[in-house]
Amino acid sequence: MEFDADSVDGVICRFGYMLMADPAAALAETRRVLRPAGRLTLAVWGAPERNPFFTAAVMALVQRGHVAPPEPGGPGIFALAGRERTTALLAGAGFSEVRTEEVPVRFAIPSIDEYVQIVADTAGPLGLALRALPDAEREAVKAQSAAALERCVVDNGYEIPGVALCAVAR
């Protein structure tokens, strides 16, 4: 979509900038279309070690050789996980009054089967890789994911903690 400069009051982007090939350019374009007093509100995922919902299946797929490890600095779920990097990108794009806050989240999943299905259905290329596996290998990935999430087991399934990094800027 094309927007004129200084034509938008606000932009909300939930879990998007981290997936963009050039988040700095995307943020600069966002700043360009925002009016001077306009605000950007965004959310990205926090550090991998604080988001086992995402890392359990990813690490199993990487360790078992089904997907390559994420490219450092490339687009991906944790590309903007660091508060410093996100703040620097916002400032570099011309934003001011940058505020960030970590927001805890919880994923309630009834079973490891449901967890694996959610990953298969929603995790883009990782989901494609998971769906393409032979049944025995998919079961092995599921077992490895279950082991990684063992500390999250509760009476009725899993409660998996996570952290989102949210930011507001002008």
Do the beta carbons of residue 40 and residue 95 sit within 8 Å? Answer: yes
Residue 3, in any domain of the structure = no
24: domain range?
8-169
pLDDT of 168 reads 99
Q: What total of structural domains would you count in the chain?
A: 1
Instruction: Report the chain's terminal Cα–Cα distance, integer Å.
Output: 21
Establish if 2 belongs to a structural domain: no
pLDDT in tens, the chain (170 residues): 789 999 999 999 999 999 999 999 999 999 999 999 999 999 999 999 999 999 999 999 999 999 999 888 889 999 999 999 999 999 999 999 999 999 999 999 999 999 999 999 998 888 999 999 999 999 999 999 999 999 999 999 999 999 999 999 99
Which residues, other chains included, contact 22 with Cβ-Cβ below 8 Å and sequence gap of 6+?
none
Whether residue 1 is contained in a domain is answered as: no
Flag whether 110 is in a domain. yes
Which CATH number is 96's domain given? 3.40.50.150
Residue 124: per-residue pLDDT: 86
131 is a domain residue: yes
Residue 51 belongs to some domain of the structure = yes
DSSP the chain: ----TT-EEEEEEES-GGGSS-HHHHHHHHHHHEEEEEEEEEEEE--GGG-HHHHHHHHHHHHTTSSPPPPTTSSSTTTT-SHHHHHHHHHHTT--S-EEEEEEEEEEES-HHHHHHHHHHHSHHHHHHHHHS-HHHHHHHHHHHHHHTGGGEETTEEEEEEEEEEEEE-
- Phi, psi values for residue 116, rounded to 5°: -60, -40
Residue 80: inside a domain:
yes
Provide the whole-model pTM.
0.90
Residue 22 lies in a domain: yes
d(CA 91, CA 16): 18
